[in-house]
Structure 1
Amino acid sequence: MTAHHERAIPRPDAADAVTVPRADGLLERLGRPSVRTLLLGVAGSVAMLVGGFGSGGTLLRDPVLGNSALSFWRYGHGQQLAGMLIYAGLIVMVWAWVRLGRDVLARRVTGRGVLVTSVAWIVPLLISPPLFTRDPYSYLAQGALPLAGFDPYAVGPDAMGGVFTDNVHFFWQDTPAPYGPLFILLAKGIVSVVGTNVIAGVLAMRALLLVGLVLLLVALPPLTRRLGGRPEVALWIAVANPVMVVHMIGGGHNDLLVVGMLPCAALLALRGRHLSAVTVATLAMAVKASAGIALPFLVLVWAATLTGPFWKRLLRAAVPSIATFGVVFAACSVAAGVGLGWLPALSAPSMIVNWLSAPTAVGQLVHTISQMFGDLPEKPFVDVARMLSGALLVALLVRYWWRSRDGGPTAVRNAGIVLALAAILSPATLPWYLSWGFCLLAMTAWSARGLQWTIVGSVWLMVVYYPTGETALYNWGFLAVALAGAVLAAVSLLRPDPLRLRTRRTAAADVVEPPLVPPDPSELVPADALEPVIDGAARRPS
């Protein structure tokens, strides 16, 4: 793995400005991104874009490639080559992401540079087929159901038939929508505009979900300053991350709306705009119910700004919060033309039984051990483990909520922790579920070791599903290789040549400079010393 590092371009004095080369001046205005790293990630995105037309979540009947000379790309050896190209592009993007992380660690790039690099990586995937999933087809089918006179919370896409249903993954054909009324309303709006054009529907859905990315970028700089992190680090974790670029945007998951709304709600709460914060968090819950976990923590932020005994302050904050929640959620339901049928539909994801969910893994492991004593069914073991996990999650929520009673950034940070735990302890876990909590945790202070663990988790989560959307969780050899690659990528964040493939002199020149945030909280960079990411101001030298 070759590492390239560019020295930070100094800001010229006014007297020397005319001597600065034009290219250097442009890089300075863009936040000093590494051109090689930027282009490397773009190459990875383009490779995944091209491969996605053959081995991604492709249409059952492709009106573009299906009857052309390029149709071979979708079948047989062509499809295999397309899949190999996707994985090659993913490896290149991970390489670029690690290189960008080195620049962030060494403070050679500003927040604007990370943002410019991330956007360059994202652009090619805006027009790709869904990658590593088929969820956008389910979203469109669920939006089409009410337009066809069906209740999306009572029946699945197979009740309707047609081109949208044809492209839904077989597992979800007869499953009611597990999403809130706001998302059903948005999906209905898209289908009413695109008609039966599935390609236009996927592109429109992705464009709509990008609103979540915009909201995240708006909230990130000021919220990061309040949570004690560095904006460029938060951008590297939350936006440049392949999970965001490939899964959330390339895959087109509606979790992206939640990822944007929750930070906005947290920022509004910390700024004292509490009713607005509850409104935005309620809208996030009206997309995915899991976002509702943040609401009790926002109430604590409000209560902490009031005077009097704790329980009296809590009551004064809770009553208007509950009223606001009820009005906003009812309005979303009325606008979408649906009732509360989405509540029982929330159990739909629990139909997924794989070991990515911690309680499911425990249940399956205990069942495997029990087979030594007799042939027993697996389901009771999984069900019991999931019930115990649910009780554990409730206990952890209460614990972190109580520890957040002083409000402020601590409450927001703990909300992120509980959201992450909810994804892990859920009866069913999908890779993008971890984004619920990390959209807040990314803005806190991180040690270099913590970032290495982030790389391991992110890279591994990228490959636990195949590009077609089918699970790879039981392909043990493949997962072992993927884990080894993830660990290698994490090590190379701090050791650019972990396999010692280069000369000692060259490797020594690339040693990463001091870690971005010392792990000791007493040594963290003060929030008021951090500069907004959007203005691209130069960082203090480490």
Structure 2
Amino acid sequence: MAPIVSVESAPGRSGRTQDTTADPFSFGGRLPGRPLPLRTIALGSIGSVLLLAGSVGAAGTLIHDPVLGDGPMSVLRYGHGRDVAVTVVYAGFALLVWAWVRLGRGVIARLVSSGGVLWATAAWLAPILVAPPLFSRDVYSYLGQGLLALNGLDPYGVGPAMLTGPIPENVHPTWQTTPAPYGPLFMGVAKGVILLAGHDVIASVIVMRLVLLGGLVLLICALPGLVEHLGGRLPVALWLVAASPMTVVHLVGGPHNDMLMIGLLATGTLAMLRGRNVLGIGLVSAAMAVKATAGLALPFLVWIWAARLEGPRPRRFVHAVAPALGVFAVVFGACMALAKVGFGWLSALSAPGMIVNYLSAPTAVGQAVHTVLSLFGELNIWPIVGTTRTLGSMLLLALLAWNWWQARDGGTEAVRRAAIVLCCGALLSPVVLPWYLTWGLALGSAFAWTPRALSYVVGASIALVLAYYPDGEQAMYNWPFVAVGIGAAVLGGTSLLRFDPLGLSGPIRDFTRDLREEHLLRR
């Protein structure tokens, strides 16, 4: 079976390496030898439409649904009708993944431009914009927390259960009494969405999705500059973070506020690389005011600032960190004042800790230890998990400190180390949810990737989406389903590197040659 050619160099029809840097977006998608991958775009679009159709009955639907109600369509919410809806969702996801892998093969072979990836992204996202929340109910929590703030209650002190109405009643039971773990800027965003959409839950979900989509736009706009500085390829970066099922299904389909956070983070990082230090620190501070995780990158950006100053390193660091702290204080203070919230978000950061799943490495170790020790007698899991989570936090701090010191020369190495720490932060957090994978990819996608590494991302993306059911409940302890998910992840990752890895179509030709033949016929 023939592997797909390397990301680093792929010959065109003339035998010479093709370069994509001259046309950052190429919205027409028609660079020489690179027509739009119309079949692949259509395949993914069919998948997205199926996701939309199935989500009406299988996703995070409303308790009192004005669309389904008690009419004939209500059959999609119960019994065999719901089974059909769930099947349609998974069929749509399978087609979307298939299209993404096909698109990735073309990107790796330098046969698909950045414009082609963007057209695919737009086509695949369009149906999702009006879908019910997919694979998560978090958006109802966002709206409930915004409604609390709008009614003069402290979202960092109480949960949506303090209110009544269509928005609070749709918040997942886990989060009904849980304070908001998000920053003041996002509380302001949530309040603004409620003001725009009122108490219409469907309209509020769509408006929230569109507002958070601004984060993806920021990320896409920042990627050409990040790729230029960090040495990657724009089509690969866009394929990783814009067209990915993780983005389509989780960040947009969810939707999740991580999308806004990573957009601000990427834009701020690019500003730092371009020497616009105040703007860069300000944007990343704003990202932290959406979700505290972005704060992991701030110490690394200070090194970028310090590297441009003169004098001994300690003096340069002091001269950089002092104004950086000042910018952070101004931005964060302004977000708190505009959202009319206080410092309660700091204590609320521990709120998600009630979730226990093995996606978090420290939690998984605690669960494993508890399982072994339980063979000798009944034990409470919380002291064990609490201990391993504490050890995990200590390890994360050690990794942060070590990588921070390794980044002391600033420049692109500081960004690389920040991306590593963001990945470590996702894996070592007490709680890990599937879309946390996007934190490190927001910056890491702009570096050079080997096909093998990309295949791992494909496998992880598939497995992490399938870690939850379409209605937002976790699927991680349905072991037959987990086995199917792992099999799909392995197949997806392998398919990026090898055409027809199962050998179902007889003798296999090099996929890049197949693509070129098809394109030549169409031309």
TM-score between the two structures when normalised by the length of structure 2: 0.92
| Residue segments in structure 1 that go unaligned for 5+ positions in a row | 1-6, 12-24, 514-542
Among 237, 254, 275, the residue aligned to 2:257: 254
Give 1:477's aligned residue: 480
- Counterpart of 1:198 in structure 2 is 201
Is contact 2:29-2:114 (8 Å) kept?
no
Structure 1 residue 512 displacement after superposition: 7.3
User: Which stretch of structure 1 is more off in the superposition, 59-68 or 98-107?
Assistant: 59-68
Residue 71 of structure 2 corresponds to 68
The equivalent residue for 1:157 is 160
How far did residue 503 of structure 1 move?
2.5
Counterpart amino acid of 2:117? V
CA shift at 1:509, angstroms? 4.4
In the alignment, does 2:270 pair up with 1:267?
A: yes
- 1: CA distance between counterparts of 2:308 and 2:265? 20
- Tell me the CA shift for residue 377 of structure 1: 1.3
- State the SS of the aligned residue for 2:418: helix
Mapping 1:507-522, distance limit 5 Å: 507-510=508-511
Match of 1:22 in 2: none
1:177 matched to 2:180: yes
In structure 1, the residue matched to 2:82 is 79
Q: Give the 5 Å matches for 1:454-533.
A: 454-504=457-507, 507-510=508-511
2:232 pairs with 1:241 = no
Contact 1:42-1:120 within 8 A present in 2 as well = yes
Q: 2:123 aligns with which of 120, 127, 133?
A: 120
One-letter identity of the residue aligned with 2:511: D
Among 131, 135, 141, the alignment partner of 1:132 is: 135
Shift of 1:235: 0.6
Q: Return the offset for 1:149.
A: 2.3
CA distance in 1, matches of 2:124, 2:377: 53
CA–CA separation in structure 2 for the residues paired with 1:494 and 1:99: 10
**CA–CA distance in 2 between the matches of 1:103 and 1:443?**
18
Shift of 1:376: 1.8
For 2:72, what is the secondary structure of its paired residue?
coil
Q: Does the 8 Å CA contact 2:144/2:160 hold for their aligned counterparts? A: yes
In structure 2, C-alpha distance between the alignment counterparts of 1:136 and 1:146, rounded to whole Å: 16
| Paired position in structure 2 for 1:399 | 402
The reply to whether residue 371 of structure 1 matches residue 335 of structure 2 is no
Report the 3-state secondary structure (helix = DSSP H, G, I; strand = E; otherwise coil) of the residue aligned with 1:268: helix
What's the counterpart of residue 313 of structure 2? 310
How high is the TM-score relative to the length of structure 1? 0.89
Q: Identify the residue that residue 93 of structure 1 maps to in structure 2.
A: 96
Cα distance in 2, alignment partners of residues 195 and 27 from structure 1:
40
Maintained 8 Å contact 1:148/1:160? no
Amino acid at match of 2:315: K
- Contact kept in structure 2, 1:495 and 1:512, CA below 8 Å: no
Segments of 4+ moved more than 4 angstroms: 7-11
In structure 1, what is the Cα distance between the partners aligned to 2:132 and 2:435? Answer: 17
Could you tell me which residue of structure 2 aligns to residue 519 of structure 1? none
Cα-to-partner distance string for 1:299-331 (whole Å, 9 max, x where unaligned): 000001111111110000000000110111011
Is the 2:49–2:92 Cα contact (8 Å) retained in structure 1? yes
Task: Indicate if the aligned counterparts of 1:206 and 1:249 stay in contact, CA closer than 8 A.
Answer: yes
Q: CA deviation at 1:394?
A: 0.3
1:116/1:9 CA distance change after superposition, 3 Å: farther
What letter corresponds to residue 36 of structure 1 in structure 2? R
How far 1:205 moved relative to its partner?
0.1
Q: How far is 1:76 from its partner?
A: 1.6
Question: What displacement does 1:373 show?
Answer: 2.6
Aligned to 1:212: 215
The residue aligned with 1:53 is 56
SS in 2 for 1:131: coil
Instruction: Kindly report which structure 2 residues correspond to 1:375-454, keeping only aligned pairs within 5 A, or say none.
Output: 375-454=378-457
Gaps of 5+ in 2: 1-9, 15-26, 515-523
Cα distance in structure 1, aligned partners of 2:222 and 2:56: 34
CA offsets, 1:468-516, max 9 Å, x none?
A: 0000010111111111111011111121111111121xx2142679xxx
Letter in 2 for 1:292: G
**1:303, 1:317 within 8 Å by CA — same for their partners in 2?**
yes
Cα contact 1:33–1:117 (8 A) shared by 2? no
**C-alpha offsets along residues 111-145 of structure 1, whole Å, 9 cap, x if unaligned?**
11111111111111011000000011111110000
Residues 418-464 of structure 1: CA deviation (Å, up to 9, x unaligned):
01100100000000111111100111110011011111101100100
TM-aligned CA deviation for residue 167 of structure 1: 0.4
SS at match of 1:295: helix
Contact kept, 8 Å, 1:54 with 1:83, in 2: the verdict is yes
Once the two structures are superposed, residues 364-408 of structure 1 have per-residue CA deviations (whole angstroms, 9 ceiling, x without a partner) of: 101111123322211111000000000000000000000001101
What is the CA distance between 1:29 and its match in structure 2? 6.7
Separation in 1, partners of 2:439, 2:182: 15
Preserved CA contact (<8 Å) 2:499 2:510: no
1: CA distance, partners of 2:374 / 2:354: 23
1:471 maps to a residue whose letter is Q
Look up the match of 2:340.
337
Q: Write the distance in 1 (CA, Å) between the matches of 2:425 and 2:110.
A: 34
CA RMSD in angstroms comes to: 1.8
The answer as to whether partners of 2:106 and 2:512 remain within 8 angstroms in 1 is: no
SS at match of 1:405: coil
C-alpha separation in 1, matches of 2:481 and 2:88: 16
Cα distance change, pair 408–27 in 1 and its aligned pair in 2 (3 A):
closer
Q: Does the 8 Å CA contact 1:102/1:512 hold for their aligned counterparts?
A: no
Q: CA deviation at 1:466?
A: 0.3
One-letter amino acid of the structure 2 residue matched with residue 28 of structure 1: R
The separation in 2 between residues aligned to 1:171 and 1:497, in whole angstroms, is 43
Q: Is the 2:29–2:112 Cα contact (8 Å) retained in structure 1?
A: no
Preserved contact between residue 183 and residue 287 of structure 1 (Cα < 8 Å): yes
Name the counterpart of 2:517. Answer: none
Identity of aligned residues (%): 51
Residue 351 of structure 1: how far off its partner (Å): 1.0
Asked if the contact 1:262/1:291 (under 8 Å) is kept, the reply is yes
Cα deviation for residue 185 of structure 1 reads: 0.6
Match of residue 19 from structure 2: none
Question: SS in structure 2 opposite 1:508?
Answer: coil
Deviations 1:67-93 (A, max 9, x none): 432121122211111011000100111
Bigger shift: residues 466-475 or 147-156: 147-156
* Alignment counterpart, residue 28 of structure 1, candidates 22, 27, 30: 30
